[in-house]
Structure 1
Amino acid sequence: MSESFLPHMNGVTGSVLQVVDQFAARGDDLAIIAPRQPGAERFLRTSCGRKIRVRRITSVPMLGYGDVRIATTSAASLRRRIADFQPDVVHLASPTILGGRAMIAAQQLGLPTVAVYQTDIPGYTARYGLPFLEAASWQLLRDVHNRATLTLAPSTFTRDQLREHGIERIRLWRRGVDTARFSPSLRSEALRAELAEPGERIVLYVGRLAPEKQVEDLRILHDLPGVRVVVVGEGPEEETLRRAMPRARFRGFRGGADLAAHLASADLFVHPGELETFCQTIQEAMASGLPAIAPRRGGPVDLIAPSRTGWLYTPGMLDELREHAVDLLFDDAKREAFGAAALASVHARTWPVLAEQLRGYYAEAIGARELSRRAP
């Protein structure tokens, strides 16, 4: 069960696709329930060639953010769809509205549930100018996640944050990275020549161009002599960012080998968002041999080892960001050493390893549900 899915591509969709690929390759029976939206396919073809049915449910676009869909299907309708498939466990990806109803449906059917926390909704409400909704958002998340058999947090920061807000039965489940797709070997001098002037160092950002990502903070690097900021992604903030950083190269959405080439051809990766529960693009940058810089908050705290694979800076202290960037951009030996350490740090974080860990959590949830059934 995914709160968002193709054709809308984001961190939730990406991790669901990877999990489906891994389990399909093992021959497991899978079904996906996701919001219906324009351009959505009825089937997903996995990398091993299997076709997985995507059961689309009624949804409407979120006001002001049309590619985000809000499901309108009832818990009763979801219960029928889940019962038709007869699953052993229900996986809920970033559950809120749809996930909350699916949680109720699964409980009514006596099925174990594993809820994967991926989106800092309370933080988003403040970033979007609605801080009065923060407490209500935490209440919603408590109501949803405390119904789950297990909740999986993507980072130690997020795990501790969830505990502080009263969420129970939390386990740590990070994300994998495709080290075959993302590699320093894909570095392209032709692409570098397209992105920057000769001799310029390239600072790369990859992600949504939306307020919560704080891409505008890259302005602190935009006018550094000998530096070119390159932005990969799309979103509602694009025109504003283009005006704020006229020298930056905006490349739009990139995926697959094209994205991997952009990462491998840069010199430094920077993600300024302070609301990342994990930040998959940092792992992909590291697998491409890049050191990374991010705020000292959320998922990046687990991913970046300061003074070894990159730097963490105090949220809001953009002078620190600039100092760390200059430190790496204009010291080739240090940057190369950090990049090599970054690459080594992600070698064990492959999706097959993470899928096996997830399988273990499924087994734990199934076992916990069996024990509760036997309890007097």
Structure 2
Amino acid sequence: MRVALFSDTYYPQVNGVSRTLKRLTDYYDKRRIEYKVFVPDLQDKKENYPNVHSFTSFPFFLYPECRTAIANPKTIRKQLMDFSPTLIHVTTPLTMGLFGIRGAKKLDLPLVASYHTHFDVYLNYYKMMWAAPLLWKYMKWFYSHADRILVPSEETRLHLMKQGFTDLSIWGRGVDCTAYSPKKRNSTLREKYKIEKKYILLYVGRLAPEKDLDTLEKTIKHLPMEMKEQVQWVIVGDGPLKKELIDKTQGENVIFTGYLTGKELAETYASSDLFVFPSASETFGNVVLEAMASGLPAIVADRGGVTNIVEHNHTGLIAEAHRYQSFIHQIIELLDGDRLIYMKRKALQMAEKQSWDAIFEGLISEFREVSSFHTQTQRYSS
């Protein structure tokens, strides 16, 4: 099997899609599966990566981590023909995805498309709901070219089915329980920021409108005083709303760390006590699973793919989306000694069942099934 992967975001960018795709190509390396990655030129790229073809690009306005590429289709076609893939996998409905569709058509190859982002939900946060019908028309056209559409959660599958999408299959997400583990808990976080509060409440993610940071900010500000005296908030991430969130939470017990990766991120997860994630726009929510692998129960919104990860009253609590009062209520409920200990244990047990290798083996099975069907179709049509 030789896979040509087309994406508008990839490592070393820091977002859920790029991290998943890097894990996928690492798995290809481990399994000795041949692959090529076609991506926009990543502005923060410090070195050349093997098997990666990159092209001049500029940020996509709804999601700057996804970049819009400018490339010569003939160049891409030649690179594809030189590689001779057996399947094309497109992961984003932007320019690189379009080049992938074109390549699959020109070379008559099976095409698998994975869906990672609810752009329609993003429109609401950017006050562009007038564009939703046009967006869905384009998305249905884009994904109609695929032999199979892979989605990360049951919630996302139902979301697309309501819009008339077919040929949907779930490609879930895993977590590396050696990288993220309660064993990484130490005193570094508390010592570095001189934290003396009893509980550390953690948010990890992009600081942007689609993450519903308005709810997070109000949750922080309106916690009852007796709870504020026990709680230290730690916000991990960066984005366009960082300065605004800092300004609005001034005077509260909030620490902003910026982007964290690797050992530092894993230790921050494990050294916290509760994960709070108000985003209602997730197709999955990788950070929630990472938190759970680190022994943290999570409080999440009742919309989006996060609802397929958190089991209410067992691995965390589910709050009403966009209602800070509901998040406050659940925080107070969960920061009860016995209940917190129980949910920490259940969260860890759930995460330990989510193996990346098993997830990727299932993906390869999907690829083989699609390739086999494509070959049969070619025979019948010839």
TM exceeds 0.5? yes
Distance verdict in 2 for CA 1:266–1:148, change over 3 Å: same
Match of 1:298 among 304, 321, 337: 304
Alpha-carbon distance in 2 for matches of 1:342, 1:56 = 39
Equivalent residues, number: 368
Question: In the alignment, which residue of structure 2 is the partner of 1:113?
Answer: 111
2:3 is matched with none
Any stretches of 5+ residues in structure 2 without a counterpart?
Answer: 1-5
Instruction: Give the stretch that moved more between structures: 110-119 or 6-15.
Output: 6-15
SS in 1 for 2:34: coil
- Correspondence for 1:181: 179
1:12-64 deviations in Å (ceiling 9; x for gaps): 110110000111101111111100133425633xxxxxxx3210123223358
Counterpart CA distance in 2 for 1:291 and 1:195 is 23
Whichever residue aligns with residue 87 of structure 1, its letter is P
Question: Which residue of structure 2 lines up, in the alignment, with residue 265 of structure 1?
Answer: 271
Secondary structure of the corresponding residue to residue 269 of structure 1: strand
Q: Which residue of 1 aligns with 2:314?
A: 308
Q: Contact 1:79 / 1:106 at 8 angstroms: preserved in 2?
A: no
Q: Superposition pairs for residues 61-140 of structure 1, below 5 Å?
A: 61-63=59-61, 67-140=65-138
Counterpart CA distance in 2 for 1:170 and 1:303 is 19
Is 1:234 matched with 2:257? no
Superposition pairs of residues 201-220 of structure 1, within 5 angstroms: 201-220=199-218
> Residue type matched to 1:289 in 2?
G
Classify 1:74/1:255 alpha carbon distance in 2 versus 1 (closer, same or farther; 3 Å): same
| Secondary structure at the counterpart of residue 258 of structure 2 | coil
The one of 334, 340, 348 equivalent to 2:353 is 348
**Is contact 1:96-1:144 (8 Å) kept?**
no
Q: Would you say the 8 A contact 2:215–2:323 is kept in 1?
A: no
Structure 2 equivalent of residue 200 of structure 1: 198
User: How far apart are the structure 1 equivalents of 2:214 and 2:172?
Assistant: 28
SS at 1:80 equivalent: helix
In 1, are the aligned partners of 2:212 and 2:322 still within 8 Å (CA)? no
Q: Name the CA shift for 1:64/1:318 in 2 (closer, same or farther; >3 Å).
A: closer
Runs of 4 or more, structure 1, over 6 Å off, are none
CA distance in 1, matches of 2:70, 2:329: 48
CA distance in 2, matches of 1:311, 1:285: 14
Contact preservation (8 Å) 2:116, 2:151: yes
Aligned-residue Cα RMSD (Å) equals 1.7
How much has 1:95 moved relative to structure 2? 3.0
- State the secondary structure of the residue aligned to 1:275: coil
User: Which residue of the partner structure matches residue 33 of structure 1?
Assistant: 38
The residue type paired with residue 313 of structure 1 is: A
Q: Which amino acid aligns with 1:201?
A: Y
Aligned residue for 1:294, secondary structure, equals strand
2:170 paired with 1:172: yes
Which secondary structure state, in structure 1, belongs to the residue aligned with residue 312 of structure 2? Answer: coil
Letter in 1 for 2:68: I
Match of 1:54 among 52, 55, 60: 52
Q: Once the two structures are superposed, what CA deviation does each residue of 1:146-176 show, in whole Å capped at 9, x if it has no partner? A: 1111110111110011111121111011111
Amino acid at match of 1:267: D
193-202 or 32-41: bigger deviation: 193-202
Q: Which amino acid aligns with 1:244?
A: K
2:150 partner letter: L
User: Match of 1:47?
Assistant: none
In the alignment, is the contact (CA less than 8 A) between 1:96 and 1:140 conserved in 2?
no
Judged with a 3 Å threshold, the aligned counterparts in structure 2 of structure 1 residues 168 and 196 are, in CA distance, closer, same or farther, namely farther
Q: How far apart in 2 are the matches of 1:11 and 1:53? A: 21
**Change in CA separation of 1:66 and 1:343 when aligned onto 2, cut-off 3 Å:** closer
Q: Which moved more, 1:185-194 or 1:29-38?
A: 185-194
Distance of aligned partners of 1:372 and 1:160 in 2 relative to their CA distance in 1, 3 Å threshold: same
Q: Which amino acid in structure 2 is aligned with residue 5 of structure 1?
A: Y
Amino acid at match of 1:240: E
1:245-266: CA deviations, max 9, x gaps? 1231000000001000000011
- The residue that corresponds to 1:49 in the other structure is none
Unmatched runs of 5 consecutive residues or more in structure 1: 45-51
TM-score, normalization: structure 2? 0.92
Amino acid in the other structure paired with 1:327? E
Between the aligned partners of 1:142 and 1:103, the Cα distance in structure 2 is: 14
CA–CA distance in 2 between the matches of 1:256 and 1:341? 24
Contact 1:216 1:244 in 2 (8 A): no
The match for 2:248 among 244, 254, 269 is: 244
Worse-matched range after superposition: 166-175 or 273-282: 166-175
Please state whether the residue corresponding to 2:21 is helix, strand or coil.
Answer: helix
- Measured against aligned partners, the alpha-carbon deviations of 1:212-235 in whole angstroms (never above 9, x if no partner) come to 111232223324322111100011
Aligned partners of 2:275 and 2:298 also within 8 Å: yes
Deviates more, 1:64-73 or 1:92-101: 64-73
CA–CA distance in 2 between the matches of 1:66 and 1:337? 39
1:67 CA drift (Å): 4.8
Deviation at 1:76, TM superposition (A): 4.2
Q: TM-score, normalised by structure 1?
A: 0.93
1:68-115 CA-partner distances (Å, limit 9, x unpaired): 421122544432222221111112123333202311221221111111
Counterpart contact for 2:149–2:169, Cα < 8 Å? yes
Sequence identity of aligned pairs in percent?
Answer: 30
Moved more, 139-148 or 12-21: 139-148
